Amino acid sequence: MTAPDAVLCGRMLIGGTLRYAEAGIADGRICELGGHVGGGERIELGMSMTVLPGFVDPHVHLRDPGMKWKEDFSTGTTAAVCGGVTAVLDMPNTSPPVTGIGALRDKKRAVAGRAYCDYGLFAALSPGCPVSLLAPYVCGFKLFMGSTTGNILLDDDAEIAQLMSEVSAVGRPVSVHAEDDSRIAHGVEEACCQDHLRNRPVEAELSALRRLSRFKDANRINICHCTTAEQIAAAKGLGFSTEVALHHVLFDAQRYTSALYKVNPPIRDPASRNALRAAFLAGEADMVGTDHAPHTLEEKSGEFDAAPAGIPGVETTVPILMDWAASGEVPLAQVSRMASLRPAEYFGLNKGAIEVGRDADFAIFDMRKSVLIDQSRLHSKAGYSPYGGMRAVFPDTVIIRGAVQVREGEPCGDPVGKDQFARLRGRLLRGCRAEGGMPKRVRHVLPVPA
């Protein structure tokens, strides 16, 4: 057994239960876990601190490359770590979209060495997509069945079937934007979120599930940003994984009408939102995904019909959920399961739990410190947040593979984030800059308690 460089000591969530434990850390992983771990420098945390596994966001749009005025990998991953997220999975509708080896190689080159948390990249399923060539280097494939940001819609059943067969052969998961594009009203003017909801009805999502049902036995399918309890139940009945974004849980089109809340799929009516919230709190969805989709405030402040769809959320989602856990609205173990363990395991990351052999990723909270979200203190380039003014518990300390990225609530680390699906085979990444590493001696970067 490798001797630990450092031992983190405190109240930890292990196997769904909070208890005192000591975690030995060596070479970026948890090498020992128990009531007493010897060796290395001991880092004693006060009993007010709660140690959770770092969170995993399976759905972000960091806009890099091609739309860096909206967000880039540095600002997006800084926002992530400040929200307790230690790994993000980035969607492929950048510019150019990731639909082939060349675009994937260029994107990996563009973001390497600039991430403050670990990451993986999706590729988009599109006609002619070289699935078998892309599979070793991506966290999964994204299927856009409904029109949204980026021109990578795939709405032909025959083409979808061919690509799903190829994905099944390589065993990779498929995350789906499940809106049937033929059920969306295109070219119909919109002036508010209620109009947007009218043009993108729930039936578009349910129709997409019916079209996907033929693949339920052959493919691993994750339904992104479910907007209704009915959709979650239908997807679950097909054996699909389900992902929920907080904006669909918190906002409805009747009360929140401006383009700041315009998103695809849309926020729904109050009754649908209430039912979704109840299902979410009951743990009926599998995962939390922020669908962090930043645009600038200027872009979102124009005419509703012309404003882009998307809401930033990677820095605020976990802290809001932690406030709910602190108030008893949702069990802490459920928050960790839905926003850490399940996405990590579904997409094959060595994260998501405080266990021997897992990455030494920790998000440490003082659960007594509930604050109001101050938009001016957030780190996304978006420059605004629809969650401003809501209560949240932000992490005090965030550690990624033993390296401290957040201390006393402020970003403090280097861009140590690693591509979790680099797999340097052949020539795909030839010429990439070296990925960020981690300090050899963890004890020099772990927080020293007051």
Q: CA 305, CA 287: separation in Å to the nearest integer? A: 31
Q: How far is CA 354 from the centre of its chain?
A: 19
How many beta carbons lie within 10 A of that of residue 365, not counting itself?
24
Residue 240, φ and ψ in degrees, nearest 5 = -85, 155
- CB burial of 72-108 (b: ≥16 within 10 Å; e: otherwise) equals bbbbbbbbbbbbbbbbbbbbbbbebbbbbbebbbebb
Element (H, E) at 203: helix 202-212
Residue 41: strand pairing partners = 6
The encoded tokens of residue 432 equal 């990439």
Q: Which is the catalytic residue, given 57, 64, 72, 291?
A: 291
Any catalytic annotation for residue 57? no
Of 386, 374, 405, the residue nearest 293 (C-alpha): 386
Angstrom CA distances, 97 to 63, 90, 382, stand at 10, 12, 21
Residue 274 to residues 175, 238, 278, 279, Cα–Cα distance (Å): 25, 24, 6, 9
Dist CA 410 CA 158 (whole Å):
50
Cα 3 to the center of its chain, rounded Å? 33
Query: Which residues are designated catalytic?
Result: 291
